[in-house]
């Protein structure tokens, strides 16, 4: 019978896992062509607004394959519900037998996305980060800052949201985490690029929020919100101006994300774009000085789900003896 792992068990397991290393290994394997990941499936809803992603795949010569269903319904907090939901299914690659059902309620997708943001910062952020800017204040916006603080030496963050009530929730989250960081809030978007040289955008926006005229030399931007074709957070002129453009998946950037939008409009040449896995294995492809503008466009790749699902299951089996 398949092992059923509930969210409360997953929460206890996650601190025991080296997520940064897992994500780096997964991205590197993906860019070496050692992972089979078909195009993601998705369902898009208008009323209420939401989206569901189905991602799946396997690492060659591994023992498992993973199917993940994750959703984001952005009005859920109004009803007292998390915006993220979902589960992951772990199967034997040799027999097709279902090995584990991870009832994570979307938690693993949120965490693996935030861990990818930390991987990007490790390889592309400027040496001296003055202030981390977070565009958005929801679950992913909180987790992005939390994971960045593990790889970036900085004690100040500036968070943007048009919703004042999100600010209190954001502060309450970090009060529980007991991190040494001063968090300030703004409802003026331009405050973020003016004050911050490491910026993460984590919203479901369908209109650009970060504009080229406001970006200073030396800034790094990680965009994680545009995971469906109609979403965008970054003005295409920012990508055109960037010295280094990175995506987690070149194939997925043909149909979604900031690179997709910028290439579609003719603002950039896709030949400039490099995959994150290659940046991880070849530092010469990453940031070379603190004057460069760098941008990473993350649409989320199934190899991340494979890595985290497998690690949670294996740790659960270790704990059970």
Across 268-284, average pLDDT:
96
Asked whether residue 245 falls in the same domain as residue 103, the answer is no
How far, in Å, CA of 96 to CA of 63, rounded?
A: 10
The region of weakest confidence among 75-79, 108-112, 266-270, 306-310 is 75-79
Asked whether residue 119 falls in the same domain as residue 254, the answer is yes
Q: How confident is the model at residue 127 (pLDDT cuts 50, 70, 90)?
A: very high
Task: Please report, for the domain that includes residue 95, its CATH number.
Answer: 3.30.1780.10
Asked whether residue 248 falls in the same domain as residue 314, the answer is no
Asked whether residue 127 falls in the same domain as residue 89, the answer is no
pLDDT attached to residue 160: 97
Asked whether residue 260 falls in the same domain as residue 123, the answer is yes
Residues belonging to the chain: 321
Place of tokens 């369902």: 43
pLDDT attached to residue 315: 97
pLDDT attached to residue 271: 94
Asked whether residue 12 falls in the same domain as residue 150, the answer is no
Q: How confident is the model at residue 78 (pLDDT cuts 50, 70, 90)?
A: confident
Asked whether residue 17 falls in the same domain as residue 151, the answer is no
List helix spans (H) across the chain: 7-13, 19-31, 107-124, 139-148, 164-177, 191-195, 236-241, 258-264, 276-281, 302-320
| Domain, as residue range, for 23 | 3-108+303-320
pLDDT attached to residue 180: 83
pLDDT attached to residue 41: 94
Instruction: Share the mean pLDDT of the chain.
Output: 95
Instruction: Give the sign of the dihedral formed by CA 278, CA 283, CA 288, CA 290.
Output: positive
pTM as predicted: 0.95
Asked whether residue 62 falls in the same domain as residue 33, the answer is yes
Number of domains in the chain: 2
The three-class DSSP label of residue 36 is strand
Q: Is the distance from CB of 105 to CB of 7 less than 8 angstroms?
A: yes
Task: Please report, for the domain that includes residue 285, its CATH number.
Answer: 3.40.50.720
Residue 166 pLDDT greater than 90, yes or no: no
Q: How confident is the model at residue 176 (pLDDT cuts 50, 70, 90)?
A: confident
Asked whether residue 231 falls in the same domain as residue 198, the answer is yes
- Return the ∠ at Cα 305 (arms to 273 and 307), rounded to 5°: 95
Across 263-276, average pLDDT:
96
Asked whether residue 127 falls in the same domain as residue 90, the answer is no
Percent residues over pLDDT 90 in the chain: 90
Asked whether residue 7 falls in the same domain as residue 43, the answer is yes
How far, in Å, CA of 237 to CA of 222, rounded?
A: 15
Asked whether residue 128 falls in the same domain as residue 277, the answer is yes
């Amino acid at each position: 019978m398949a092992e059923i792992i509930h969210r409360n068990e997953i929460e206890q397991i996650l601190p025991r896992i080296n997520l940064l290393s897992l994500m780096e290994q997964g991205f590197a394997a993906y860019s070496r062509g050692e992972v089979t990941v078909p195009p993601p499936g998705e369902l898009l809803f208008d009323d209420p607004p939401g989206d569901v992603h189905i991602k799946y795949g396997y690492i060659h010569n591994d023992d498992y394959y993973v199917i993940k269903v994750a959703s984001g319904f952005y009005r859920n907090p109004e009803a007292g519900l998390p915006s993220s939901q979902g589960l992951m299914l772990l199967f034997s690659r040799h027999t097709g037998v279902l090995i584990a059902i991870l009832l994570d309620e979307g938690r693993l997708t949120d965490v693996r996305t935030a861990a990818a943001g930390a991987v990007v910062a490790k390889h592309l952020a400027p040496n001296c980060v003055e202030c981390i800017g977070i565009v958005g204040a929801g679950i992913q916006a909180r987790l992005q800052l939390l994971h960045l603080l593990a790889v970036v030496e900085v004690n100040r963050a500036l968070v943007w949201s048009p919703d004042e009530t999100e600010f209190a929730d954001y502060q309450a989250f970090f009060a529980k985490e007991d991190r040494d960081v001063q968090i300030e809030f703004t409802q003026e978007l331009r405050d973020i690029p003016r004050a911050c040289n490491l910026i993460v955008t984590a919203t479901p926006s369908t209109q650009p929020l970060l504009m080229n005229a406001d970006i200073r030399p030396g800034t790094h931007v990680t965009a994680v919100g545009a995971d469906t074709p109609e979403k965008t957070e970054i003005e295409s002129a920012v990508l055109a101006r960037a010295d280094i453009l990175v995506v987690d998946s070149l194939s997925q950037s043909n149909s979604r994300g900031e690179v997709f939008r910028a290439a579609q409009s003719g603002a950039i040449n896709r030949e400039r774009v490099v995959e994150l896995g290659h940046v991880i294995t070849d530092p010469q492809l990453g940031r070379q000085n603190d004057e460069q503008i760098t941008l990473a466009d993350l649409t989320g790749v199934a190899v991340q789900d494979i890595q985290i699902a497998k690690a949670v299951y294996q740790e659960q089996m270790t704990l059970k003896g």
